[in-house]
Structure 1
Amino acid sequence: MIKTKYGPLYLIFFAALTAGAGNGISLVAFPWLVLQRNGSAVEASIVAMAGTLPLLVATLIAGAAVDYLGRRVVSMISDLLSALSVAAVPVIALVFGVDAINVAVLAGLAALGAFFDPAGMTARETMLPEAAQRAGWTLDRSNSAYEAIFNLSYIVGPGIGGLLIATVGGIDTMWVTAGAFVLSIAAIAVLRLEGAGTPNRDELPQVWAGIVEGLKFVWHNRVLRTLAVVDLTATGLYMPMESVLFPKYFTDKDQPAQLGWVLMSLAIGGVIGALGYAVLSKYTARRTVMLVALLVLGVAMTVIAFLPPLPVILVLSAIVGLVYGPIAPIYNYVMQTQAPPHLRGRVVGVMGSLAYAAGPLGLIVAGPLADTAGLHVTFLALSIPMLVLGLAALFLPALRELDRA
């Protein structure tokens, strides 16, 4: 059991790294398994949507589960179920043959994995304030480090995923994914932290009433409500680029390693941006950081839409990650400071579920549009609204509350 001053914080960081790496490998492996069959972006979108649709409901339930069952237990159960869902891919291939790994099977397993993941992420995020307090870290510093490590997992994950696909194939790559989730379970199993154990359920409302309470809290809090809408829109526009358009582009070129490099560039930029925010937060207003991030995202995605050479895509992907890196620490800070401890899990769950709500809509549009009009048009269809979102954010008064004490 880890009871040192920094132990709980480092264990949460390690769990975020390993679980995130597992998801990062899946980010490459699932679309690759689909696209190598017939190169259909529509089928890749189906699998991507299967991995996104459950998030809307699952994240709401995850927040309530964290508040009712306890943060530590929920984190371990979530990672265990996620490990089983990805390990099922090679198990099915061994028992029934490779042909059994079709789009329906992959979509089903992606949906199962997506249903379990939010609970683990929510549980780890809700443990951060107490772990930071024990370590003597500020919330801005701990959130920046957490998001940087989470982004680091998307350097390790896609990089390993691309290399493994090129060497052992997409199916056997899933064994490594399962192993990453097991490491996360081991880290949380030895963690002991105030507020991470079983809560007093007598002081909590029923589960459904608790979810409604979380929804009402977010709706009546102006800054949380505005951030939820902004994140919902940005996620819906950005997600298809990472989960369908880039995999489609590099599958057509038969370059799995290059797909891994692009996703790694996104993550490297995210690590630098998240870590840099710990310093930047001392000198720059949170609203300024948010506005710059949204505007630069739109510009960078618009340039990527013209499908420039790989080095240019890598640089632009790193820029996208760089400006997006500080956004998650800002969101975490607002949730942690606005929500009371007994509501923290549900508020994180509500915010997460709203962020995922637009993802399926973007994927529904992106897949068929990529097959019919081409990648260039599809990229533009996503990047131009992102530019509009950045301009609209300049006039949102609620974002001024990001810097209110």
Structure 2
Amino acid sequence: MNTSRRPMLLLMVATLTAGAGNGISIVAFPWLALQHNGSASDAAIVATAGTVPLLVATVLAGAAVDYLGRRRVSMLSDALSGLSVAMVPLLALGFGTGAVNVWTLSVLAALGAFFDPAGMTARISMVPEAAEATGWSLDRANSLYQANFNLAYIVGPGVGGLLIATLGGVQTMWVTTALFGVAIGAAALIRLAGAGRPDRAELQEKVWPGIVEGLKFVWSNPVLRTLAVVDLLLNGLYVPIESVLFPKYFTDLDQPQQLGWVLMALSAGGLLGALGYAVTSQYLNRRHTLIVAAVTLGVTTTVIAFLPPLPLILGLSFVVGLVFGPLGPIYNYVMQTRAPAHLRGRVVGVMSSLAYAAGPVGLIVVGPLADAAGLTVAFLALGAPMVLIGLVSIGLPALRDLDRTPQPL
């Protein structure tokens, strides 16, 4: 193995296996909740429990990465995430399947969600040094990193749907635990500049002032601030689709495999979109890519609202993934090039936290709305604002900085 490529390959393995574990959880947690009484509100409770901790956890994760070290945080995060999902079958083994109810699932989903962002933040923060060691451009490295991340969400939900159909939702969690174990092993072998113990001389003496420093940096940078707000709004509208509406629809049909296929189609499109960005980044405008993605998401959601046949839902889901695939590499590039190395973890954490902030609101509203007014109304209530966000983004001046070369840090 080429030594210079070893860190990037190990980083990819850790990202793939941890992401696949999370991808299985995305299917398994709502499915287990819906098995009790088929209520979209119950699924929304579990999904919300898996989202609310992200608001705080991602900010703390960024500080942990900068203060404790990237490799160490990646390993610790995956160990704790693995423990949280392993508790599902352990509870069933010790106390019976009745112990795996909406409330215990909510607690375990919340614990997993609290630990996951630290690992993701740590791995994103290692990309620039891994790219340098490999001799790749940062755009190419982020493109392949994001494609690998999206691949995890093809493997995870697809395998999750099949495992639920064959083993059941509870036993499926053992596979998730094993995947987190592989991620820990891969991260332990990574050797990169900046991945080990940080230089405390560059950091605030206390953690809280360090967190505030990251918040101030993001808010004072117009392009980071604007991206954070746009991402917040789009995530608040999109998360309920994947976490509540699709699971509700396919649970009513008793088709866990089809839910897995839809999530796989989203990720497959995202994989190709992210991979293609390594080439298209040389020709396409970043700002235009963001605007097209927002409008496309709104239009496709509006069509899906009328619950067309499965092949059309799969095709539309693939298109959504395709146009959104380049956004991850773009966001990562902006964060990595605008933030100095000693602040990188906190900037990634703050941006991620803001992206998750609207998710719980959307989940709390959409679950009861779907139960009361039906899935079509719920889908339409999410699709129209997405189109509006895309149109408003056309006039946002800060987004023009996406295509300007940043000043050297």
TM-score by length of 2: 0.98
Deviations 1:99-132 (A, max 9, x none): 0111110000000000000000000000000000
- Structure 1: gaps of 5 or more residues: none
Which one-letter code corresponds to 1:159 in the other structure? G
**Stretches (4+) displaced over 6 A:** none
1:123 matched to which residue of 2? 122
Q: Distance in 2 between matches of 1:37 and 1:267?
A: 28
In the alignment, structure 1 residue 390 sits paired with structure 2 residue 382: no
The answer to whether the 8 Å contact 1:74/1:119 transfers is yes
The answer to whether the 8 Å contact 2:50/2:110 transfers is yes
Q: Distance in 1 between matches of 2:301 and 2:132?
A: 38
Q: Distance in 2 between matches of 1:3 and 1:236?
A: 42
Q: Distance in 2 between matches of 1:267 and 1:113?
A: 21
1:71 matched to which residue of 2? 70
Which one-letter code corresponds to 1:138 in the other structure? S
The answer to whether the 8 Å contact 1:234/1:386 transfers is yes
In the alignment, structure 1 residue 55 sits paired with structure 2 residue 59: no
Secondary structure of 1:123's counterpart equals: helix
2:149 matched to which residue of 1? 150
Q: Distance in 2 between matches of 1:270 and 1:211?
A: 31
Q: Distance in 2 between matches of 1:349 and 1:166?
A: 36
The answer to whether the 8 Å contact 1:3/1:191 transfers is no
1:108 matched to which residue of 2? 107
1:306 matched to which residue of 2? 306
Q: Distance in 1 between matches of 2:157 and 2:198?
A: 37
1:169 matched to which residue of 2? 168
**1:326 Cα deviation (Å)?**
0.5
1:357 matched to which residue of 2? 357
Q: Distance in 2 between matches of 1:291 and 1:173?
A: 38
Q: Distance in 2 between matches of 1:211 and 1:120?
A: 17
Q: Where in structure 2 are the equivalents of 1:35-54 lying within 5 Å? A: 35-54=34-53
- Structure 2: gaps of 5 or more residues: none
Q: Where in structure 2 are the equivalents of 1:271-310 lying within 5 Å? A: 271-310=271-310
In 2 relative to 1, CA 265–12 (structure 1 residues): closer, same or farther, beyond 3 Å?
same
1:258 matched to which residue of 2? 258
The answer to whether the 8 Å contact 1:3/1:192 transfers is no
**1:216 Cα deviation (Å)?**
0.3
Which one-letter code corresponds to 1:142 in the other structure? A
**1:291 Cα deviation (Å)?**
1.2
TM-score by length of 1: 0.99
In the alignment, structure 1 residue 222 sits paired with structure 2 residue 222: yes
Secondary structure of 2:76's counterpart equals: helix
The answer to whether the 8 Å contact 2:202/2:342 transfers is no
Identical columns (%): 70
Which one-letter code corresponds to 1:126 in the other structure? S
Q: Distance in 2 between matches of 1:14 and 1:244?
A: 29
Secondary structure of 2:3's counterpart equals: coil
**1:84 Cα deviation (Å)?**
0.3
**1:294 Cα deviation (Å)?**
1.1
2:193 matched to which residue of 1? 194
Q: Distance in 2 between matches of 1:294 and 1:278?
A: 21
**1:266 Cα deviation (Å)?**
0.3
**1:200 Cα deviation (Å)?**
1.9
Q: Distance in 1 between matches of 2:190 and 2:401?
A: 35
**1:297 Cα deviation (Å)?**
1.1
Q: Distance in 2 between matches of 1:45 and 1:148?
A: 28
Q: Distance in 2 between matches of 1:7 and 1:285?
A: 32
**1:298 Cα deviation (Å)?**
1.0
Q: Distance in 2 between matches of 1:171 and 1:13?
A: 28
The answer to whether the 8 Å contact 1:79/1:182 transfers is yes
In the alignment, structure 1 residue 322 sits paired with structure 2 residue 322: yes
Q: Distance in 2 between matches of 1:334 and 1:197?
A: 23
Which one-letter code corresponds to 1:109 in the other structure? L
Q: Distance in 1 between matches of 2:214 and 2:2?
A: 32
Which one-letter code corresponds to 1:96 in the other structure? F
Secondary structure of 1:5's counterpart equals: helix
Which one-letter code corresponds to 1:132 in the other structure? A
The answer to whether the 8 Å contact 2:143/2:326 transfers is yes
**1:234 Cα deviation (Å)?**
0.3
- 345-354 vs 203-212, which moves further: 203-212
Which one-letter code corresponds to 1:354 in the other structure? L
Number of aligned residue pairs: 404
Secondary structure of 1:199's counterpart equals: coil
Q: Distance in 2 between matches of 1:191 and 1:129?
A: 14
